[in-house]
Amino acid sequence: MFRKEIKVLDCTIRDGGLMNNWHFSDEYVMAVYNACVESGIDYMEIGYKSSEKAYSRDEVGCWKFCDDKDLKRIVGDNNTDLKLSAMADIGRIEPDDIPLAADSVLHMIRVAAYVHQIDKAILLAEHCMDKGYEVTINLMAVSNIMERDLEEALADVAKSKIPIFYLVDSFGSMYCEQIERLVKKYQEYLPKKTIGVHMHNNMQLAFSNTVTGIIHNCNMLDTTFLGIGRGAGNCPLEILLTFLKNPKYRVRPILKVIQESMIDMQKEIEWGYHIPYLITGTMNQHPRSAMKWMNSKEKNDLVAFFNRMNEKMDL
């Protein structure tokens, strides 16, 4: 379907990096960047902006920081229509760590926050706007927020200058009817703002929940190449492009990166549909216990993981 307001954001490096601590080769990051440019994607989220105090460079790659020297090694001055984005986690960055937009190749900062951090998120996002960036706020883990708290957060966002607000299914635990209900609530509170969607694939619903968002007028759509991302991963960019059938997007460059880099990568980094991720998703739990299980020797003992999660729920 074609709706000119729709913007597609690729977060392959940022969200995929949660699976390998952002240790991607420069060649791969460049291949993703070039494919996004050639495919007509609107935004590429290339990593996080983080404080040097929050993480050690011995543990995480440079895309956890997104210094301009690293960005420019890949994108030069980025004389393209592709806008570059970085995510900022509340508590992991100081406002002073963010340069002026005029001094950076980044166009957009997306602020990720839990509901109790929403006022801090508004403050940081407005600070970034003042520095010249486009901004969004991505409210995480909404499936675990009490309705009263959600409404208070939405009312705060409504009073802010933030133009784009995201519905995020952090645990991959929501069905189409829950997506529809929340989208309508977000729109009711934020009638003049753009709503974005960021979905996870624990129950094989990342793409279909994104379609539900599209049907209900969400216009910022998060995706990744071959669905790479934390745990079960994200909405696959290549599927979304075939759905949108918008002449400004082209799928071939995406397929080329998948065939050249990602089929082998998926053998090493096991994102995608796996039973432990289904179990945390259906139980509305953070995927971290499933990720730990997938990296353990017990990995394939699915019944044991199911039993353990059930016991945890019984507490």
Element (H, E) at 196: strand 194-198
User: Applying CB under 8 A, does 206 fall inside the site for a copy of itself?
Assistant: yes
- The C-alpha atoms of residue 290 and residue 269 are separated, in whole angstroms, by 14
Task: Pick the closest to residue 89 from 110, 62, 67, 119 (CA basis).
Answer: 110
Q: How many residues bind a copy of itself (CB under 8 A)?
A: 35
Q: Exactly one of 21, 25, 204, 296 binds a copy of itself (CB under 8 A); which one?
A: 204
Q: Exactly one of 211, 218, 221, 294 binds a copy of itself (CB under 8 A); which one?
A: 211
User: Applying CB under 8 A, does 183 fall inside the site for a copy of itself?
Assistant: no
Indicate the residue among 115 and 309 with the shorter CB distance to a copy of itself: 309
- The C-alpha atoms of residue 3 and residue 15 are separated, in whole angstroms, by 26
Residue 239: phi, psi to the nearest 5?
-70, -45
DSSP SS3 for 139: strand
* Listed ranges 69-77, 188-196, 201-209, 286-294: which one lies at the site for a copy of itself (CB under 8 A): 201-209
**Residues numbered 232-261 forming contacts with a copy of itself, rule: CB under 8 A:** 236, 238-239, 242-243, 251-252, 255-256, 258-259
Asked if 75 and 67 count as a contact pair (C-beta separation under 8 A), the reply is: no
Strand partners, 48: 87
Asked if 78 and 104 count as a contact pair (C-beta separation under 8 A), the reply is: no
Element (H, E) at 291: helix 288-294
Q: Exactly one of 207, 225, 249, 271 binds a copy of itself (CB under 8 A); which one?
A: 207
Indicate the residue among 155 and 263 with the shorter CB distance to a copy of itself: 263
Indicate the residue among 26 and 175 with the shorter CB distance to a copy of itself: 175
**Residues numbered 264-303 forming contacts with a copy of itself, rule: CB under 8 A:** 273, 275, 278, 282, 300-303
* Listed ranges 54-62, 95-103, 131-139, 204-212: which one lies at the site for a copy of itself (CB under 8 A): 204-212
| The token pair that represents 145 in the structure block | 């927020």
Task: Pick the closest to residue 237 from 21, 76, 89, 16 (CA basis).
Answer: 16
Q: Exactly one of 212, 223, 224, 280 binds a copy of itself (CB under 8 A); which one?
A: 212
Q: Exactly one of 20, 34, 178, 208 binds a copy of itself (CB under 8 A); which one?
A: 208
DSSP SS3 for 198: strand
Instruction: Find how far residue 310's CA is from the centre of its chain.
Output: 28
Interface contacts to a copy of itself, rule CB under 8 A: 175-177, 201, 203-209, 211-212, 215, 236, 238-239, 242-243, 251-252, 255-256, 258-259, 263, 273, 275, 278, 282, 300-303, 306
